[in-house]
Amino acid sequence: MPGTFVIRIADGLLIYTEVLDDYKEGNMKGFIFGKHYSVACPDGELDDAHRLAFLAITSKDSFLAANTQG
């Protein structure tokens, strides 16, 4: 899943995530590490998120367009 772009909603914010790593073992199984972008954090934030929170996979082009528009 690294290199994938996904979207989710958290705390009323639409969040675009670039997946950087996919945890597969231990208590982090089901989580990803990524850079998350939203209107509240336009420069992105490195953090973990659970896969079940994601609404959809999006294309890199859509991700870049959303990131450019803020």
Cα dihedral 54, 15, 13, 11, rounded to 10, equals 50
Residue 15: the pLDDT is 95
47 strand-pairing partners: 34
The pLDDT score that the predictor gives to residue 70 is 63
pLDDT tens-place string over residues 24-67: 889 999 999 999 999 999 999 999 999 999 999 999 999 888 87
Domain segments of the chain as ranges: 5-69
**pTM of the full predicted structure?**
0.88
Rounded CA gap, 55 and 49, in Å? 12
**Band of residue 69 on the pLDDT scale cut at 50, 70, 90:** confident
